[in-house]
Amino acid sequence: MKLAVWTYEGPPHVGAMRVATGMEGVHFVLHAPQGDTYADLLFTMIERRDHRPPVTFTTFQARDLGSDTATLFKDACNAAYERYKPEALIVGASCTAELIQDDPGGLAAALDLPIPVIPLELPSYQRKENFGADETFFQIVKHLAKPCEKTANITANILGPTGLGFRHRDDIVEVTSLLNDMGIDVNVVAPMGSSPTEIAQLPAAHFNVLLYPETAEAAARWLERTFDQPFTKTVPIGVGATRDFLAEVAEITGKPVQSDESRLRQPWYSASVDSTYLTGKRVFVFGDGTHVKTAARIAKEEMCFEVCGLGCYNREFARDVRALGKDYGVEALITDDYLDVEQAIERLQPELILGTQMERHIGKRLGIPCAVISAPVHVQDFPARYSPQAGWEGANVIFDTWVHPLVMGLEEHLLTMFREDFEFHDDAGASHHGGHAPREIGATPDVTEIPTPSGSDVVVWLQDAEKELKKIPFFVRGKAKRNTEAFATERGVTEISIDTLYEAKAHFAR
Amino acid sequence: MTDMPALPQGNGCRDVPVLKQRGQHEVFCGLTGIIWLHRKMQDAFFLVVGSRTCAHLLQSAAGVMIFAEPRFGTAILEEKDLAGLADANEELDREVERLLSRRSDIKQLFLVGSCPSEVIKLDLERAAERLSEKYFGKTQVLNYSGSGIETTFTQGEDACLASIVPAMPKTTERQLLVVGALPDVVEDQALKLLGDLGIETVRVLPSRTADEIAGVGPNTVFALTQPFLGDAAGALERRGARHIAAPFPFGEEGTTAWLAAIAREFGVDQDLFETVTAAPRARARKAIARSHEVLQNKRIFFFPDSQLEVPLARFLTRECGMEAVEVGTPFLHKGLVGPDLEMLATGPQISEGQDVDQQLDRAIAAQPDLTVCGLGLANPLEARGLTTKWAIELVFTPVHFYEQAGDLAELFTRPLRRRAMLAEHPSHINGPEISSGEREGAKRPSLGALA
Ligand code: SF4
């Protein structure tokens, strides 16, 4: 038993729903109680889908237990087939149904439906959402992909995009155009947008682009083994990674790298003088393994940030992310407990967090800016505008997204110079953030439930020192306050004077 | 606004045949109630003993909008807990210990059962007794089930309140107990009205803090503010209290009828009743009148959700001039909503339970002007050209009593107003064919694929 407040991933059947909902012509019969239908709203509200997910929940109740849940399941399968006439049916159990052991796979097979029925094993008490998506896609591919002749021209499949994926919608467009630039056609994009008929055609492609290893690695490996289809290992997010990706594609296909970079602006933006202030900003990176790996590289090589900490919530990628941590000289944090992440951020006091919606909230509480790089998704992660992460346009989007929460270059200096000025006074906040000042560190959190024990409980700020602290621009004040308190505590100083403040400043000067 | 329509002949919808459906339900489970209960009960913590699904439901329903550590969490069962039950109890004790040592502000702890905890027959009642003894004098530990195999959405609040009743001290005092978790501001308004009517002792369930828990006994009468509190009512009756049957306090008419039933019970002078209610009644009518214009003659269809459907249909048809097509409710508790049913003119199909596919067919065939439904159905129906109102807002928003009557009506007008405004510029919307996520793939299924 483990106490969870917020979770990064849902249960595995939500992963299965993401695959089914992304696809066309499949229907998912999920043996589950009524409350589990909440998952529909993830798709209809967060992603603003205009269709219900193709999922029938059996919604068994207590009175059905021990008597008739199996019949209920079979009836639901028959009714779903009759009503939706899918090309293929996938069946599985949610956490509760797993306990009653009705064997959805066996029951559905016994119905002799005239379409493929794909049973899923979704161990709810061991695994999570990403596993569920990966496993579901793998089972669908394994059941439906048929040996077929390779296409005459060179083609690729794009594997991994699902419903409710972080920017999957736009990444597909971007990666397709990268491939087209090289004269490569896309055979099938899957699971998103594909039908069982198209899944059958997967082996016709010459290779696979594994866009999101979280949701498609098992399928890509199986296709490689079974149909001799190599898959790309680099996820093209970031300029460097996109170049490596193109090189990999060139190597697989024997075609020369060709790409239209005319709209790529990120390298110049990063080199322009206004970006000088980005140099050495300490960033903390957290999210799913793939996005963390790509973000860390962009942060270091393309933005010239200092990665002061990183980690991921999906254990499947623990090994990769630990290795990545070694490369960056930091210890990777592998956890799905957001309190651990909060602690790490509090300790490291980064100047920018690259994280998920969860870290965005942590950042709000701690007064640290945050840009979102990874699922779990929020309605804000489905913007109306085109906003990919992959490819050249993705690199542009990422530059803008990461810089936005920071105080802009020149503005940083102006704030320091004119900090007492009425317009630049420190409650004004960054000029492009609509005027609401970030909350002060140590001020009451948004919901005053439990105060986090902070240094200020043990050391007292003398009035003068507190006034001086207020003169420090808000975007570094939190760090100054914490550093000073840490400095004071270490030395057994219980009252902070102006001198303590500046001694601490000197001590921490980098 | 003119006077209220005359009451229907006979028993209104009280004895009309009810369409009972048993198929896929598209509703939340009772755990969802935690989202509003934990805000109401300021020193309570809700510990769900369940699965990752339960945790995910809570977080999705809450919309990940709570920044600090909230006063609810899920003890997620793992493989090893499922192997042996003795183990699970120890694990639970350990998690509770850890939680309470960190959160000294917690005076009431609810162990909330879920589908998995019920299926493995984890005895949370015994666990609550055991832990109550252990933390005696510091934290009271209670338990109830919010599982999806036992409870539907608002029934979670019912189960929670019912679990508090046995813990209420005994009293022989003549008192009124107002039952239902209302936003503080609304509760204060109700208490003021009741006080002005001269009712001396008025207590509430749930109380804002554990210290303020009300007593109960043979001289207690209680009024429900929500139609879904059948189990809580039963538990109070078992403690000797008596229910004051009344329509629910939605809208001017409902609030007046609710107060009048209480006034009769306490022998409140008719003149005093008029004096106290005249001004807020007039205000409520005036506030509703603004929406009346928009809602008049519009047809409304309710999917089953919160059990508020019958009283709301009564309010919207009688006070706002709407026509109800179907009034779906997860349960039809005639003992509680009987007075509302009697005031609802015959005409609408009353349905209980759900088969969501069939109900969608009915809704689409009926082409109502406004459809009240859950979040999972709203956008798909909008894409089909229907205008929708999220049912969940009705339990999250202050909607009871006179001062909120206008807001309640307004909740239903906003979607209609918006659709009308968008329709003024057809070149922008171009009918219901707009679809989100156009880039998702080359092909899109036709919009007809919904049902
Ligand atoms: S329906 Fe059951 S398993 Fe699903 S979230 Fe509700 S209590 Fe948990």
Residues 6+ apart with CB under 8 A from B7: B342, B343
Query: In chain B, pLDDT over 90 holds for what percent of residues?
Result: 81
Ligand 1: does its nearest atom lie under 6 Å from the Cβ of A59? no
Q: pLDDT under 50 in chain A at which residues?
A: 409, 420-426, 428, 431, 434-456
Q: How far is A266 from chain B (nearest CA, A)?
A: 24
Q: How far is B86 from chain A (nearest CA, A)?
A: 13
Nearest by CB to residue A59, choosing from B25, B77, B449, is B25
Name chain A contacts of B61, Cβ cutoff 8 Å. 38
How many CB atoms are located within 10 Å of the residue B435 CB? 15
What would the two tokens of residue B232 be?
A: 């809580």
A7 close to A129: Cβ distance less than 8 angstroms:
no
pLDDT over 80 (residue B329): yes
Give domain A450-508's CATH number out of 3.20.20.370, 1.10.10.10, 1.10.8.550, 3.40.50.300.
1.10.8.550
Beta bridge partners of A286: A311
The CATH homologous superfamily of the domain defined by A12-144: Nitrogenase molybdenum iron protein domain (3.40.50.1980)
Model confidence band, residue B102 (pLDDT cutoffs 50, 70, 90)? confident
Whether omega before B339 lies within 30 degrees of 0, making that bond cis, reads no
CATH 3.40.50.1980 fits A155-253, yes or no: yes
Candidates A409, A421, A426; CA nearest to A472 is: A426
Residue given tokens 């409980």 in the structure block: A457
Catalytic site positions of A: 274
Q: What is the pLDDT of residue B162?
A: 98
> What's the rounded Cα separation, in Å, for the pair A23 and A190?
8
Beta bridge partners of A155: A185
Please report, for residues A160, A169, B362, the alpha-carbon distance to residue A51 in angstroms, rounded to integers and kept in the order given. Answer: 21, 16, 17
Nearest by CB to residue A169, choosing from B25, B118, B437, is B437
Q: What is the pLDDT of residue B449?
A: 35
What would the two tokens of residue B89 be?
A: 């109890």
What average pLDDT does this structure show over B134-139?
95
> What's the rounded Cα separation, in Å, for the pair A353 and A340?
15
> What's the rounded Cα separation, in Å, for the pair A190 and A26?
13
* Antiparallel, parallel or unpaired: β A117-119 and A55-57: unpaired
- Centre of ligand 1 to C-alpha A86, Å, is 27
Beta bridge partners of A4: B74
Q: pLDDT (tens digit, 9 = 90+) per residue, B166-222? A: 999 999 999 999 999 999 999 999 999 999 999 999 999 999 999 999 999 999 999
DSSP secondary structure letter of residue A45: I
Residue A198 half-sphere exposure toward CB, CA atoms < 13 A: 21
Which stretches within B11-134 are classed as H helix?
34-40, 52-62, 79-83, 85-102, 115-119, 124-134
Beta bridge partners of B324: B300
Q: pLDDT (tens digit, 9 = 90+) per residue, B252-281? A: 999 999 999 999 999 999 999 999 999 999
Ligand 1: does its nearest atom lie under 6 Å from the Cβ of B58? no
Q: Where are the domains of chain A?
A: 12-144, 155-253, 266-414, 450-508
Q: What is the pLDDT of residue B426?
A: 76
Q: According to CATH, what is the number of the domain B30-151?
A: 3.40.50.1980
CATH 3.40.50.1980 fits B18-25+285-439, yes or no: yes
- Angle at which helix B270-295 crosses helix B309-320, to 10 degrees, equals 80
Q: What is the pLDDT of residue B273?
A: 98
Among all residues of chain A, which has the CA nearest to that of B450? Answer: A51
The DSSP result for B166-220, as a single string, is GGSPB--S-EEEEES---HHHHHHHHHHHHHTT---EEEES-SSGGGPPPB-TTE
Least confident piece of the model among A424-428, B24-28, B419-423: A424-428
Residues 6+ apart with CB under 8 A from B300: B313, B316, B322, B323, B324, B325, B368, B369, B370, B371, B372, B412
Ligand 1: does its nearest atom lie under 6 Å from the Cβ of B57? yes
Name chain B contacts of A42, Cβ cutoff 8 Å. 60
Q: According to CATH, what is the number of the domain B175-265?
A: 3.40.50.1980
Task: Say yes or no: B51 contacts chain A, CB-CB below 8 A.
Answer: yes
Q: What is the pLDDT of residue A361?
A: 87
Model confidence band, residue B69 (pLDDT cutoffs 50, 70, 90)? low
Q: Where are the domains of chain B?
A: 18-25+285-439, 30-151, 175-265
Candidates B286, B293, B289, B363; CA nearest to B324 is: B363
Candidates A54, A58, A57, A59; CA nearest to A20 is: A54
pLDDT over 80 (residue B73): yes
The identity of residue B25, as a single letter, is: H
The CATH homologous superfamily of the domain defined by A266-414: Nitrogenase molybdenum iron protein domain (3.40.50.1980)
Q: What is the pLDDT of residue A469?
A: 83
Please report, for residues A272, A378, B283, the alpha-carbon distance to residue A240 in angstroms, rounded to integers and kept in the order given. Answer: 18, 28, 66
Candidates A134, A403, A95; CA nearest to A288 is: A134
- Is B55 close to A7, i.e. CB distance below 8 A? yes
pLDDT over 90 (residue B294): yes
